[in-house]
Amino acid sequence: MDKQEFLSEERIAISNRKARHDYEIIDVYEAGIVLKGPEVKSLRMGRANLQDSYADLKQGEVWLHNMHISPFEQANRFNHDPVRTRKLLLNKSEIRKLIGKTTEKGLTLIPLKVYFKKGKAKVELALAKGKKEYDRREDIKKREMDRELRRTFRKN
């Protein structure tokens, strides 16, 4: 694989699989993330966790909270705080849209996945609304019914 192919492909470092179960995804945005050197190396190794993380808007900027990136062993004294708040990079127009939408009742920003695109770390950020317990149960019932239908068609 040459350098051009390496930079063109998109490689997922980590994903938040539980987010699609707990939230109804309304809109998805791609944001850059400001990282330090050892954080990038840990992320490339897949040593991070998006569970319980969320994004917040403060003074016209978007910040990612509670994302855990494990310290890189070889970085010794240059290591970082694993759960520090990290700045997300979005266009001004996207930030304005998000400010308007997050002020609505029940909408929040959650990260779905972190991946590398052309060598840069990106975060897939979702504008989402939390699901109630009965919504989750309905989703499970639909999945089970679909699975049963596929089984019956496969047998016939």
Q: What is the tens place of the pLDDT at every residue in 79-110?
A: 777 788 999 999 999 998 888 888 877 788 99
Are the C-beta atoms of residues 135 and 24 closer than 8 Å to each other? yes
Residue whose token pair is 């492909």:
9
The CA distance from 139 to 143, in Å, is 6
pLDDT at 112: 92
The CA distance from 57 to 88, in Å, is 10
Handedness of CA 25, 41, 66, 59 (dihedral sign): negative
Q: What is the tens place of the pLDDT at every residue in 1-22?
A: 555 555 556 777 788 888 888 8
Are the C-beta atoms of residues 8 and 106 closer than 8 Å to each other? no
Residue whose token pair is 């944001």:
31
Q: What is the tens place of the pLDDT at every residue in 17-56?
A: 888 888 888 999 999 999 888 888 888 888 888 888 999 9
Going by the DSSP 8-state scheme, the letter that residue 104 receives in this structure is S
pLDDT at 65: 93
The yes-or-no verdict on residue 124 having pLDDT over 90 is: yes
Tell me, yes or no, if the pTM score tops 0.85: no
pLDDT at 64: 92
Among 25-29, 87-91, 135-139, 146-150, whose mean pLDDT is lowest? 135-139
Q: Label residue 75 by pLDDT band (50, 70, 90).
A: low
Show me where the domains of the chain are located: 3-131
pLDDT at 8: 53
Q: What is the CATH number of domain 3-131?
A: 2.40.280.10
The CA distance from 148 to 156, in Å, is 13
pLDDT at 133: 76
Are the C-beta atoms of residues 87 and 34 closer than 8 Å to each other? yes
* Stretch (H or E) spanning 68: strand 68-69
